[in-house]
């Protein structure tokens, strides 16, 4: 997809600070990080949504993200923890429409905040939602 900024990176168009690459995924430094040391992990194949990836690519994507987290902890980059952030859809905050995981180094007291009003649903509501999601899961993945 030629208008996709991540596909342009995959085509070696423009400067990129690569962290690691394999046959399925590429990890590079984010040019607009929330925190210093933030890494973007993408699949080589273009897909907007996570569920468009095959299982092997999904596994590789998350494995690379987890390994980047381990590398951050092992590196001299100062951090107290990290977040994996995947925005799947505009409503979730997706701005680049090529599935990607941000590995965001976190430091105690940093500026990143999750503003939410945490809900406390009744058990019957949780049970009802679980049944609907479970049914959809079985329809999508009958052998799982």
Q: Distance between terminal CA atoms of the chain?
A: 32
Contact 17, 28 (CB under 8 A): yes
- Tokens describing residue 66: 């987890």
In the complex, least distance from residue 108 CB atom to Zn ion, rounded to whole angstroms: 35
CB count within 10 Å of CB 83 equals 16
Q: Please say which residue, 4 or 20, places its beta carbon nearer to Zn ion.
A: 4
Q: Which of 46, 67, 106, 107 binds Zn ion (CB under 5 A)?
A: 46
| Footprint of Zn ion on 72-111 (CB under 5 A) | 98
| Contacts to Zn ion from residues 6-45, by CB under 5 A | 6-7
**E strand or H helix that includes residue 102:** strand 101-106
For Zn ion (CB under 5 A), the number of binding residues is 6
Q: What residues line the site for Zn ion (CB under 5 A)?
A: 1, 4, 6-7, 46, 98
């Amino acid at each position: 997809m030629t208008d996709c900024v991540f596909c342009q990176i995959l085509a070696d168009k423009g400067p990129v600070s690569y962290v690691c690459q394999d046959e399925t995924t590429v990890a590079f430094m984010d040019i607009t990080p929330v925190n210093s040391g933030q890494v973007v992990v993408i699949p080589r194949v273009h897909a907007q949504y996570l569920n468009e990836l095959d299982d092997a690519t999904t596994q590789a994507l998350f494995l690379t993200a987890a390994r980047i987290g381990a590398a951050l902890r092992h590196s001299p980059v100062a951090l107290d923890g990290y977040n994996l952030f995947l925005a799947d859809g505009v409503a979730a905050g997706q701005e680049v429409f090529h599935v990607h995981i941000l590995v965001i180094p976190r430091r105690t007291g940093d500026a990143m905040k999750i503003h939410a009003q945490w809900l406390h649903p009744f058990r019957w509501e949780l049970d009802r939602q679980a049944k609907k999601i479970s049914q959809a899961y079985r329809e999508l993945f009958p052998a799982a």
